[in-house]
Amino acid sequence: MTVVGLCLTHDFAWAVSNFPWLDLVLGLGVVSLLVAIGLGRADRLAGTLGWRPLASVGAFSYSMYLVHAQLLQVFWQTVVDPLSLDRPAQLVLGWALGVPLIIAASYGFSLLAERPFVRRETRMKARMRAGMKPMGGSLDPDPISR
């Protein structure tokens, strides 16, 4: 909350010039919250983070991590920049239109590129637990010595 308060009471140039310190304070705050959750001292926050719609984002968060920067760049170059908006309007447009589009595109990327491999790994582990040889070859690191 300290970082948010500072950013609301100061101008954009101040926030940019003090970014390393703001980043440090915000990072320490997030680490503190994670430790509190881990120690069982923030049950309300843990419950909020476990909320089904929010937790479902975790299913494709790696895909979002992989593609968000490229999608942000495309959104900026094709939508925001051609409109020549001032900074506050750019921010509103990014949050209102850019974020939902990027989340949707990341989910699509997850369905196409990540999920098929996760499913294959799950099937392979199930076959190994059942004592069957996994499809596609052996997982033995040294099959020649046998």
What's residue 108's pLDDT?
Answer: 95
Neighbours of 110 (CB within 10 A): 19
* Distance separating alpha carbons of residues 48 and 137, to the nearest angstrom: 43
pTM check: above 0.85:
no
Specify the amino acid at residue 135.
Answer: M
Q: What is the pLDDT of residue 85?
A: 94
Report the Cα 94 to chain-centroid distance in Å: 17
Residue with tokens 């310190």: 21
Q: What is the pLDDT of residues 30-51, one digit of tens each?
A: 999 999 999 999 888 888 888 8
Burial class (CB in 10 A: 0-12, 13-18, 19+), 93: middle
Q: What pLDDT is attached to residue 104?
A: 95
Sign of CA dihedral 19, 30, 69, 85: negative
Amino acid identity of residue 143, one-letter, is P
pLDDT, one tens digit per residue, over 56-84 is 888 899 999 999 999 999 999 999 999 99
